[in-house]
Amino acid sequence: MYRSSVRAAAGLIAMLALVLLVAACGGNGGSSTSASTAGGGTTTTSGGGSGEVGQPVTAPPDNAKSGGTLTVLSAGDVDYIDPGLAYYSFSYQALQPTLAPLYSYAPGDPSTPMPILADGDPQISNDGKTITVKIKTGFKFSPPVDRAVTSKDVKYAMERAFTKQVPNGYMSAYFGNIEGVKAFQDGKAKDVSGIETPDDQTIVFKLTRGGPVVGALVLPVTSPVPEEYAKKYDAQNPSTYGQHQVSAGPYMLESYKPTRSITLVRNPSWDKDATGDPRPAYLDRVEFQEGNEDPNVASRRILDGESLVSGDFPPPPALVKSTVQGAKKDQIQFNPGAGTRWVSMNTQMKPFDDVNVRKAVLAVFDRNAMRLTRGGPLIGDIATHMLYPGVPGFEEAGGMKGPGNDFLANPSGDPQLAADYMKKAGFADGKYSGPPILMVADNSGVGAQGALVAQQQFEKLGFKVTLRQVTHDTMYTKYCNVPKANVQVCPNVGWIRDFADPQPVLDPTFNGKNIVPQNNSNWPQLDDPQINAAMDKAEQITDPGERAKAWADIDKMITAQAPLVPWLWDKFPTIQSANVAGVNALWNEGSYDLAYTSLK
Amino acid sequence: MTRYVIRRLLWVVVLLFLVSALTFVIFFVLPSTDPAALRAGKTRDPEVINAIREQLGLNKPKIEQFWIYLKGIVLHFDFGHSYLNNLNVRDEILSRLPATISLSLGALVIWLFVGISVGIISAVRRRSLMDRAAMGTTLVMISAPVYWLGLVSLLLFSQGIGVIPIFPGSGSYTPLSEDPWKWFTSLILPWLVLSAAFAAIYARILRANMIETLSEDYIRTARAKGLSERRIVLGHALRSAITPIVTLAGLDLGVLLGGAILTETVFNIPGVGRLSYDAIIHGDLPTVQGTVLFGAFFIVILNLVVDIAYAYLDPRVRYT
């Protein structure tokens, strides 16, 4: 008895000592959390580093220095290292400095394409079916190719992305209307007849019908690839060109160790003056250190360390708030236009096949509570419709205020209005009384917390929710992206444009013809003939103003159908060390543009 | 002895086959990711998804996929290619093994040294203040989850973010071949964190065994014959009491060589454990199977080594 008592006491004392030690070390975190309650949104959408807390910086300082090594910390890896396959924001961040696409965006202007390899704006024929792009002369490939880039290299880069060896994810959607694609893919033609190269400095795209080709010329697949060099790698299935790629941009790939590191160094063949490339390329070397699974540790390393910036992860909400209110507030930026988040309802399944039930859900939904799970007002604005800030058509669709639907008027929810809509749907007491609904959600991180909040919102209307939580990848690939999985609610879905155009936001996600058995991104499975027809018509419009207006009208039609709860327009937080003069690329979720960033 | 070893090795083959089959079945029975859809990203083009499915060999019947996989291992020691990045799984595991071996062996040395020392001292000085303090501390170490202890140690001692920044922190691992000193310093914190719970368990087990052994008749006889206390403790009592520790050490080392997932993840050490973690999260079956098979291999082989070691540690043990 005596022995065990003393031992227990000794154990308790030791444990207490450790707890005190931990409490002492965790003091910062604790104060961060308490301080966070006062966190206010101070973000604006304009760039330029005006000195306001959290403003994205969209241009390098006047006295930016050349040289040095920058380290980018990331949790994950690129989806593909091959520019013909890369499709994720983080991949763009890593690869863009090595590429010379026809067009890109200036860091602060995510709407207007800026020529990189192209020599001026594209020339579009009156019927919108012929696009001619002139190419600059000064670009050269990095060693071992080390020769001048021609239009044939752009043609090859795009053609390889139509092959089985390079199964690009967006070619058919954005370039599928180029003449001769089908024949090329079926092996009936040696090349895509609709991509012509009359001389080394001209490339012509001939289209079967109008479409988003012009806007899509900013995508990395338009960066040149030398056929004579890449052919042997592209002959393998899958192609291994990514590991051996050559560059036409200011940097080139020195090494790539999947899930471990990526290293970029200067491309000795790139000459800013000769190319007229607008990118200043200050840094000598960029190292990506991957595998930083704990965002808390990684974020603290960045904020307290030197020459470090964040890659694919946002800092944790508590750290965001303490940083904004502390001495390191200049080291964080909130970048608008970083996508939108939704809670989708399956409009093909009961009870969400009734528009009044859907409107009731939108009316009751506390979107503020959802936003708090990710960090509150700092990390984004509450969404009021589908197009998000920075996308053409956003203002025409109602801007920040939205189109004025009553069920989206109160960001904290309106139970009375929700009950009214439920009554209209035939539920006399304003509450749902049917069988349980299936919700599939993330099982970890802020996504899991958001799912619990979403579940509460449905329960307010009397829904019994069967919540199945799985990994993020499983949620998408086995459930939410698969219509036959019969999931009624997906609370963790979201979307970001591929380029500055409203079509890539609304067409894949709300067009009935895009409901597919796998990788379906029309999560509500909305199939409204009027909306579908309006999209088909708007797709053909080439005038930017008319196009924006047409898609804004479609946005209003979709929002009126209440197919999902739009709850956040993201402002992605990025952080940097004190000695980094980071420049945020607003076209790419605000991630640091490594061709503009420098060290102080 | 030779026949015994051969028989055990044959069982290893059977066991590895069963482990492989079980992993395969679990992957396809339980909810998991669709690798082709995952690789396709945002695309909804069925032709692209099918092309990827074909590339990954997922268009073939399940049993054929398993057969191809087994054939690859047996004939070419080929564990297939990752669904995530198409890397050769065998090469990837082998390239990460040095980091895992560095972490595991270093931690093993620490936990054996600390665990055995503390266990002996606590047993010999039973009920002393030192014994009680040591046993209390072991209780805390056993109770502290590795990931928690890892984060706390980083926030306390790692350069860059620590309160007392004396050790390199997360992401600082450097291979031994590149810079031995950096290798050593980068692993100090991970070694300490990984070995803490093991050292505590070993100390408690050894202490209990030693106390029991020290009360045996043959120890009393040895004392009566005038042997020194040092010789009694280290030469007689320890040799008898340490047998379960050897068993445990073998099994634990085998498990860790299969990947110290939490420690490698917290400290961002590019070892087999982190590879397993990423593969599990993304449903990368070939990599999961590869790491599971390597882990199982290490466990059964080290178990065999332990059994053989028994014969030398305990003269009563003989294998036929």
Q: How confident is the model at residue A172 (pLDDT cuts 50, 70, 90)?
A: confident
B174 touches chain A (CB under 8 A): no
Looking at chain B, which residue has its C-alpha nearest residue A87? B41
Q: How confident is the model at residue B58 (pLDDT cuts 50, 70, 90)?
A: confident
Cβ-Cβ contacts under 8 Å, B281 against chain A: 471, 473
Nearest one of B263, B271, B259, B262 to B298, comparing CA atoms? B259
Distance CA A587, CA B5 (A): 63
CB contact under 8 A, A474 and B31: yes
Tell me whether strands A69-73 and A285-289 are parallel, antiparallel or unpaired: parallel
Write out pLDDT tens, residues A121-166.
999 998 889 999 999 999 999 999 999 999 999 999 999 999 989 9
**Closest Cβ–Cβ partner in A87, A259, A300 for B42:** A87
Mutation target to probe the A interface, by most A beta carbons within 10 A, among B28, B39, B48 is: B48
What is the residue-averaged pLDDT of chain B? 89
**Closest Cβ–Cβ partner in A237, A238, A477 for B37:** A477
CB contact under 8 A, A77 and B45: no
Residue A28 has pLDDT above 60, yes or no: no
B313 touches chain A (CB under 8 A): no
**Closest Cβ–Cβ partner in B34, B49, B270 for A478:** B34
Cβ-Cβ contacts under 8 Å, A185 against chain B: 47
B281 touches chain A (CB under 8 A): yes
B140 touches chain A (CB under 8 A): yes
B/e letters for B251-282, b = 16+ CB within 10 Å, e = fewer, are bbbbebbbbbbbbbbbbbbbbbbbbbbbbbbb
CB contact under 8 A, A7 and B34: no
CB contact under 8 A, A521 and B161: no
Nearest one of A369, A502, A499, A524 to A105, comparing CA atoms? A499
Q: Which residue has the higher pLDDT, A3 or A497?
A: A497
Write out pLDDT tens, residues A400-451.
999 999 999 999 999 999 999 999 999 999 999 999 999 999 998 889 999 9
Write out pLDDT tens, residues B139-152.
999 999 998 999 99
pLDDT for A421:
98
Of A118-127, A165-174, A409-418, B2-11, the least confident: B2-11
The percent of residues in chain A predicted with pLDDT above 90, rounded, is 83
Q: Read off the amino acid at residue A498.
A: D
B142 touches chain A (CB under 8 A): no
Write out pLDDT tens, residues B97-119.
999 999 999 999 999 999 999 99
Q: How confident is the model at residue A42 (pLDDT cuts 50, 70, 90)?
A: very low
Write out pLDDT tens, residues A558-576.
999 999 999 999 999 999 9
Q: How confident is the model at residue B31 (pLDDT cuts 50, 70, 90)?
A: low
Q: How confident is the model at residue B235 (pLDDT cuts 50, 70, 90)?
A: confident
Distance CA B44, CA B59 (A): 18
CB contact under 8 A, A14 and B139: yes
Nearest one of A275, A328, A272, A288 to A304, comparing CA atoms? A328
* Average pLDDT for B181-203: 96
**Closest Cβ–Cβ partner in B38, B55, B144 for A477:** B38
User: What single string gives the DSSP state of each residue in A181-250?
Assistant: HHHHHTTSSSS-TTEEEEETTEEEEEBSS--THHHHTTSGGGS---HHHHHHHHTSSS--HHHH----SS
**Closest Cβ–Cβ partner in A21, A473, A520 for B33:** A473
Q: Which residue has the higher pLDDT, B201 or A30?
A: B201
What was the ipTM of the complex prediction?
0.82
CB contact under 8 A, B170 and A24: no
B/e letters for A108-126, b = 16+ CB within 10 Å, e = fewer, are bebbebbbbbbeeebebee
B132 touches chain A (CB under 8 A): yes
Q: How far is CA B22 from CA A393, A557, B18, B30, in A?
A: 53, 51, 6, 12
B contact residues 143-162, partner A, Cβ 8 Å cutoff = 143-144, 151-152, 154-156, 160-161
Looking at chain A, which residue has its C-alpha nearest residue B92? A258
Cβ-Cβ contacts under 8 Å, A292 against chain B: 170-171, 268
Looking at chain B, which residue has its C-alpha nearest residue A186? B47
Distance CA A447, CA A493 (A): 9
Residue A377 has pLDDT above 50, yes or no: yes
Residue A520 has pLDDT above 60, yes or no: yes
Q: How confident is the model at residue A24 (pLDDT cuts 50, 70, 90)?
A: very low
Looking at chain B, which residue has its C-alpha nearest residue A4? B132
How big is the A-B interface in CB pairs under 8 Å? 170
Q: How confident is the model at residue A201 (pLDDT cuts 50, 70, 90)?
A: very high
CB contact under 8 A, A292 and B170: yes
**Closest Cβ–Cβ partner in B51, B140, B154 for A14:** B140
pTM for the complete prediction? Answer: 0.85
Cβ-Cβ contacts under 8 Å, B171 against chain A: 73, 289, 291-292, 298, 301
Write out pLDDT tens, residues B276-288.
988 888 888 889 9
The values of phi and psi at residue A344, to 5°, are -90, 150
The percent of residues in chain B predicted with pLDDT above 90, rounded, is 49
B43 touches chain A (CB under 8 A): yes
